[in-house]
Structure 1
């Protein structure tokens, strides 16, 4: 196992802490990670550091039902591109198989999807066998998975079995939401009936999936020098933007190179960091405006703009139109060519 592999701490510091009302700086300090430059650049940590953050949030959380509250809020709250792998799919099984490919982009978690007799079984585990996944973190995965499936299917899908390595009190805490009492098991898992495995999603969106899949694959290979530097930058940006990070320094850290090396290599390829950033934002903005129902302010947030007005100014510069007008124009024949008028 590559113990040097790191994972974005965004889901812990920027999502979970905010939802639970925990000060991220206090959480990092309590977890022994106070030296990390929170607020100045993207934070990444090993599997052990990631789970240390989770264990610390568990202690600091003011809510006894923090797992259930956090899981439901994550599922219904912030737009996280990785979850489009599930919602864009035609059915439950296809969506879970797609999500399993890219789950590690959200943290040090392996996700396995397989048939267990007539049931569809979904298991979660640590990416590092030497660093066990906290039981409550496994419980969170179950809540998020079930809630996401229900949202995409517009149906109260209930698993037929579930389990994680937690005491009875913790298992009862999520039993009512899941619709089944989780058993005490080493593996964090949830199983669905054959009927629910094939249940159709009302959110199916094959056009958006084609684009999302390409972006997520770029994220997975961003660390490879075999790819052109501009493509690696785009992959890193897709990963960083939901965390509000678009700076060259953040991207350089994500790619494991210095900022000066990043800028030099982009110049050698005939482009610049700002050009790649603008092109990435423009392409993603057009995609979300034409292939989703996300509001302009939600898109602005995904693309790491300060607010919807800043996003609108940039979009006008790229296309000559405001985002809402562009979306309305794409719903009827248009002559837009990609150039600002």
Structure 2
């Protein structure tokens, strides 16, 4: 019998709960998932359990405007690598097509991107037909994608049409943010004009995108036991680190094997868990320092360090330089190289 697919609860317990000021333990208990070892290992749940958590957060949230508040905060707050699919792209259409490939890394939702009557249309749905996506989660998808598009374009882009299966009050809750009143529709969707769909993004970064795409593909492949275990560990770490989890136990659980089996397979490949963890952190740190403007504390957060000082100590051990010095030296080198001008 096939094992039912599971999805990371990071966006719920580590992002949404914090933004909405909801205790994640209370949320899990109320959703009937209190037995999950929150805080010790990565939490993965079925699509239905994920949606149960979302519905519970909706009830527990102290804010009436929780959907637009959460959507804007997610887009402007924590560094979430999946959203680089959009921000690194040359324009909206290409970025959204890229995002659709990796949308399931954020939870049990999928995104379809297609042309309809000349408009660029996005539809959001559950990955599991047996577990319908809550309407308010569909509304959140609309807010998040519009907010990310505006950030990438540095323009107040507004859709020409939108809809989800919510009451008039729920639809008005996000109308001010979208710039239009969503219609009531079974599908959660948003559509953009042909002109906006080809709008150039000021955040385009093809060199960085090549690295990000490779990491995201490793995340998707982490569950494929035909891949080298070191690659699977790296993919799992890219998924786990933003949630603050870097332990061998966390990775073993994500890969569906025991910790001892994980360590044995890594030894057979001539490496160790600590070596893969260090190499993954080092490579991602250098990438962010050389190809983005992320602050040192933001990079430390993505790599699951307690603070920027802890990250700086590790980076100095890897390279002999502090992160700031490494970035400044690279900037000076590029400014002096005629080929970079």
TM-score range for the pair, normalised by the shorter chain length: over 0.9
Task: Name 2:102's counterpart in structure 1.
Answer: 102
Q: C-alpha distance in 2, partners of 1:269/1:176?
A: 55
Q: C-alpha distance in 2, partners of 1:38/1:281?
A: 24
Task: Name 2:23's counterpart in structure 1.
Answer: 23
Q: C-alpha distance in 2, partners of 1:86/1:45?
A: 26
Task: Name 2:240's counterpart in structure 1.
Answer: 240
Deviating runs (4+, > 3 A) in structure 1? none
Q: C-alpha distance in 1, partners of 2:51/2:179?
A: 27
Report the CA distance between 1:180 and its aligned residue: 0.7
Secondary structure in 1 aligned to 2:159? coil
Report the CA distance between 1:332 and its aligned residue: 2.8
Give structure 2 stretches of 5+ with no counterpart. 335-341
**More displaced stretch, 137-146 vs 325-334:** 325-334
1:1-341 residue pairs with structure 2 within 5 A? Answer: 4-333=4-333
Q: C-alpha distance in 1, partners of 2:127/2:330?
A: 43
Report the CA distance between 1:226 and its aligned residue: 1.2
Q: C-alpha distance in 1, partners of 2:3/2:160?
A: 36
Q: C-alpha distance in 2, partners of 1:233/1:40?
A: 18
Paired residues of 1:3 and 1:46 also in contact (CA < 8 A): no
Q: C-alpha distance in 1, partners of 2:101/2:236?
A: 17
Q: C-alpha distance in 2, partners of 1:3/1:267?
A: 28
Secondary structure in 2 aligned to 1:125? strand
Q: C-alpha distance in 1, partners of 2:255/2:309?
A: 30
Q: C-alpha distance in 2, partners of 1:61/1:187?
A: 25
TM-score normalized with structure 1 length: 0.97
Report the CA distance between 1:3 and its aligned residue: 6.4
Q: C-alpha distance in 1, partners of 2:315/2:23?
A: 34
Task: Report the RMSD for the aligned CA atoms in angstroms.
Answer: 1.0
Q: C-alpha distance in 2, partners of 1:46/1:285?
A: 32
Q: C-alpha distance in 2, partners of 1:45/1:322?
A: 39
Q: C-alpha distance in 2, partners of 1:142/1:6?
A: 24
Task: Name 2:337's counterpart in structure 1.
Answer: none
Secondary structure in 2 aligned to 1:257? coil
Paired residues of 1:125 and 1:188 also in contact (CA < 8 A): yes
Report the CA distance between 1:2 and its aligned residue: 6.3
Q: How many residues align?
A: 334
Q: C-alpha distance in 2, partners of 1:37/1:246?
A: 15
Paired residues of 1:19 and 1:73 also in contact (CA < 8 A): yes
Q: C-alpha distance in 2, partners of 1:297/1:309?
A: 9
